[in-house]
Amino acid sequence: MTEQAVLQDARRYLAMLHKRRGIVLTCLGVSLAIAVLYNYTTRPVYRATTQILIDRDTPNVLPNKELVELVQGGMDYYQTQYQLLKGRSLAERAVERLKLQTHPELATGPMMNPWERVRGFFGRPPSAVVDLSGMPLSPAAAAFRSRIEVDPLPGSRLVNLHFRAYDPQVAADAVNALAQLYIEQSLELRYTTSTEATGWLSERLKEQEAKVEAAERALQQYREAEGLVNQEERQGLVEQKLEMLNGAVLDARTDRIAKESLYNQIASQGPGQIESFPLVLGSEPVQALKAELALLQREEARLADTLGDRHPDMVRVRAQVRSTEEKIRAEMRNVAAAAGSEYRTALAKEARLAATLEAVKREAQDTNRKGIEYSVRKREVETNRQLYQDLLTKTKQTGLETELKTTNIRVVEKAETPRGPVSPNRMRNYQVALILGLLVGIGLALGFEHMDNTFKTPEDVKEHLQVPFLGMVPDVSVKTAGTAARGPNASQVIKS
């Protein structure tokens, strides 16, 4: 589309609006008249605002974290708080505290928006005000609740609490009382929850105390039945004895093996070979007798050189030699017999120590079995006692929480008496009326122009009649002196 065509369309629309200017001005005037009527007949509404802070966590003044954690910190928690601010309970308590049951402010009923007013004007009553459970509210509470607005500030924990009223002082008092009642309701909820938790913990504490007493009695009865005085010390002594016996048995076995080997070697030697056996050679009596025999043999050799075989001295010395040799053989037999005796003694000692070790092992197993049973019962006592101590501590802490007056909700800014109304907004209403009047007027003008099917331009004649356009005939009026008479128009003259 060319610029010339755009200009031509604009001129055509301006011409149409100029032609239908009466409709546009009428719609604009009616719209402004309605706005003026609404602005000066509507009762002014004032709005007071209190800003409150809803923290995620309650101030923690106790050494441990609270047993009953009420604050979750999620979006569902904040949505719940917003609904509580607009709830039935707070509205009814605020009305009762401010004594607004018969106040003229709430006598007009719930504050309705323009759409509800239009529905009431056409005979359709507004919907009844109900709480979250669907139960109808009392008239005063319904009127009070309809004036509450909750406006959370995005990206923060601040919430603007608004209250609209026809009286500015009532608006300020109502919103401040509502914020205070909301804090008191939070404290009551915490107190109720802590009280219920304290009662529940007290019952569990009594049950746990009975469990501790029963476990302690069972442990004492088991200790008396098994004769346990100091199980830990007894078990330590048995383990020490077992360790000592293990060492003794090992030493006895080693000694028995050595003596058994020596005894077997002596037993395997012949009568003439025993003299050269190390044990025999190492025997002091045998060595002494052999030294004595050597002296006697030297004495016999010396006497044999000077005396005859039958000489009394030679007979005496030879008798002594034979006696000494017999003593040596007897002593060697004693050495062999002693080796056998030592072997049998070592064997008996090993057997005795092994038997004692087995008895101590059985005693250790019995002690371990009793120790395990004793440990199980003792651990049960300690566990129940620890649970009892934990419950006792939690009960005391919960009792302190019941007396604490801390909450996660605080008033940041109290509401002041509004200086001016928020409704009606006269300038905005005038602007809306001006825009709506112009839109409706222009729309009606364009609609009427579209429905007008008369010829307006020469091009319309050529397009619709399919005949050439010869010229335009003016509309002539005949005037006389003093009067003006309108004669037949030009088209009628031509036809006649």
Residue 496 pLDDT greater than 50, yes or no: no
Instruction: Say what the pLDDT of residue 173 is.
Output: 92
Instruction: Say what the pLDDT of residue 158 is.
Output: 92
Residue 177 pLDDT greater than 90, yes or no: yes
Q: pLDDT class for 75, splitting at 50, 70, 90?
A: low
Q: pLDDT class for 493, splitting at 50, 70, 90?
A: very low
Which range has the worst mean pLDDT, 264-273, 375-384, 455-464, 481-490?
Answer: 481-490
Residues 361-368, mean pLDDT to the nearest whole number: 79
Instruction: Say what the pLDDT of residue 49 is.
Output: 93
Q: pLDDT class for 280, splitting at 50, 70, 90?
A: low
Top-ranked range on mean pLDDT: pick from 53-67, 131-145, 248-262:
248-262
Instruction: Say what the pLDDT of residue 134 is.
Output: 43
Q: What is the pLDDT of residues 429-451, one digit of tens each?
A: 889 989 998 899 888 888 877 77
Distance from C-alpha of 171 to C-alpha of 126, rounded to nearest angstrom:
24
Instruction: Say what the pLDDT of residue 179 is.
Output: 92
Distance from C-alpha of 376 to C-alpha of 384, rounded to nearest angstrom:
12
Q: What is the CA radius of gyration of the chain?
A: 63
Q: Taking all residues of the chain, what is their mean pLDDT, rounded to a whole number?
A: 76
Strand partners, 423: 45
Which range has the worst mean pLDDT, 13-17, 33-37, 163-167, 327-331?
Answer: 327-331
Q: What is the pLDDT of residues 97-115, one digit of tens each?
A: 888 877 887 777 777 665 5
Better pLDDT: 21 or 150: 150
Q: Closest Cα to residue 272, out of 280, 262, 260, 284? A: 280
Residue 138 pLDDT greater than 50, yes or no: yes
Q: How far apart are the first and last CA of the chain?
A: 46
pTM: 0.52
Instruction: Say what the pLDDT of residue 131 is.
Output: 46
Q: What is the pLDDT of residues 18-59, one digit of tens each?
A: 777 888 889 989 998 998 888 887 788 899 999 999 887 655
**Percent of the chain scoring above 70 in pLDDT:** 73
Q: What is the pLDDT of residues 295-341, one digit of tens each?
A: 877 777 777 777 767 777 777 777 887 787 777 667 766 666 777 77
Instruction: Say what the pLDDT of residue 113 is.
Output: 60
Residues 385-411, mean pLDDT to the nearest whole number: 78
Instruction: Say what the pLDDT of residue 181 is.
Output: 92
**Percent of the chain scoring above 90 in pLDDT:** 8
Q: What is the pLDDT of residues 208-261, one digit of tens each?
A: 889 888 888 888 887 777 776 666 667 777 778 888 888 888 888 888 888 777
